[in-house]
């Protein structure tokens, strides 16, 4: 996708059949510098993470360049299709940030906890308050109560379950999720570890919501572009084609 994302930033600034590479390079020099600088942010050491940040920064900075040239400097009238294009391109940038953060900075930890015990992961403290049996509509379950705090402040209370369905006797694990704009917390109750202890699996995935948010922005951008009145006029001026179906003439004998 890297070449396509690069051309996506260049395309809106290139005049059709009249684009000159030196002119485009001058107009996008600041976008290129900011994008390369973003790829070497402190704490970024893996090449694919750097590439993800570079592509996201390139997407956002080329949108900003296009907005500045058309609106601020050119004072042009911005059509709905152009706004839709900017929104869809921004959605791609948000999507790239989400995928890069989820794959590049996950936190995973397995801990053996007894009731009252706690473990730290990713700046959060997870405390197992207790485990009890419950009955569902078609299953029996063991439900844990886990309190999540950060710097002593309560964040959430999660209830992961270990279920066994009555008909199939098939055990399943139901993870508890605390959703947020910048991260999602996943807690799953694993197997008993002996001595009233349980194995708890903790996952912290940053920017998961940004993946879905980017897709929503892309869809909204496409709808705005399709709603542009120019396309409605284009459809109205198309000539109608009438298809005449000629029935075969049956032969009659003498």
Tell me: do 38 and 23 sit in the same domain: yes
Please give the pLDDT value at position 254. Answer: 43
Distance CA 111, CA 107 (A): 13
Residues 96 and 125 in one domain: no
pLDDT tens digits, residue range 10-40?
887 776 556 677 777 888 888 999 999 988 8
In terms of domains, do 28 and 92 share one?
A: yes
Q: Are residues 219 and 191 in the same domain?
A: no
How distant, in Å, are the alpha carbons of 12, 37, 87, 186 from that of 27? 12, 18, 21, 45
Beta strands 161-165 and 118-121, pairing class: unpaired
| Bridge-based pairing state of the strands 183-194 and 197-206 | antiparallel
What pLDDT band is residue 124 in, cutting at 50, 70 and 90? very high
Are 212 and 98 within one domain? yes
181/213 same-domain check: no
**pLDDT at 96 > cutoff 70:** yes
Same structural domain, 91 and 152: no
231 pLDDT more than 80: no
- Across the chain, mean pLDDT equals 87
Residue 240 lies in a domain: no
Same domain, 51 and 91: yes
Cβ neighbours, 10 Å, residue 144: 22
Q: Are residues 100 and 111 in the same domain?
A: no
pLDDT tens by residue, 191-230: 888 888 999 999 999 999 999 999 999 999 999 988 887 7
241 in a domain, yes or no?
A: no
184 and 72 belong to one structural domain? no
This prediction has a pTM of 0.79
Q: Provide the domain count of the chain.
A: 2
**One domain, residues 33 and 61:** yes
pLDDT digits (tens, 9 = 90+) for 149-172: 999 999 999 999 999 888 878 889
Determine phi and psi for 217, rounding to 5 degrees.
-65, -40
Host domain of residue 84: 2-104+208-231
The residue whose two tokens read 């090449």 is 47
* CA 127/CA 130 separation, integer angstroms: 9
pLDDT of residue 66 exceeding 50: yes
Residue 142, classed as helix, strand or coil, is strand
pLDDT for residue 243: 59
| Closest C-alpha to 111, from 100, 121, 96, 122 | 121
Same domain, 83 and 118: no
């Amino acid at each position: 996708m890297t070449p396509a994302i690069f051309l996506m930033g260049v395309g809106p600034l290139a005049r059709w059949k009249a684009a000159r590479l030196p002119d485009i390079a001058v107009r996008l020099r600041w976008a290129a510098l900011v994008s390369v600088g973003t790829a070497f942010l402190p704490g970024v050491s893996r090449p694919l993470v750097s590439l993800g940040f570079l592509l996201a920064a390139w997407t956002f900075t080329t949108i900003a360049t296009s907005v500045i040239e058309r609106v601020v400097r050119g004072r042009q009238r911005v059509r709905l299709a152009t706004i839709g294009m900017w929104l869809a391109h921004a959605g791609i940038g948000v999507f790239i940030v989400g995928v890069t953060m989820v794959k590049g900075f996950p936190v995973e930890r397995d801990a053996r906890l007894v009731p009252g015990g706690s473990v730290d992961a990713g700046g959060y403290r997870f405390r197992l308050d207790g485990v009890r049996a419950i009955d569902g509509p078609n299953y029996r379950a063991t439900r844990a109560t886990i309190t999540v705090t950060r710097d002593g402040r309560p964040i959430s209370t999660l209830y992961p379950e270990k279920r066994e369905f009555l008909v199939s006797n098939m055990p399943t694990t139901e993870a508890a999720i605390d959703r947020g704009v910048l991260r999602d917390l996943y807690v799953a109750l694993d197997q008993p570890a002996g001595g009233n202890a349980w194995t708890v699996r903790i996952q912290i995935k940053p920017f998961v919501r940004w993946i879905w948010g980017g897709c929503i922005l892309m869809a909204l951008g496409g709808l705005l572009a399709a709603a542009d009145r120019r396309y409605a006029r284009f459809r109205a001026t198309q000539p109608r084609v009438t298809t005449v179906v000629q029935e075969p003439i049956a032969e009659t004998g003498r």
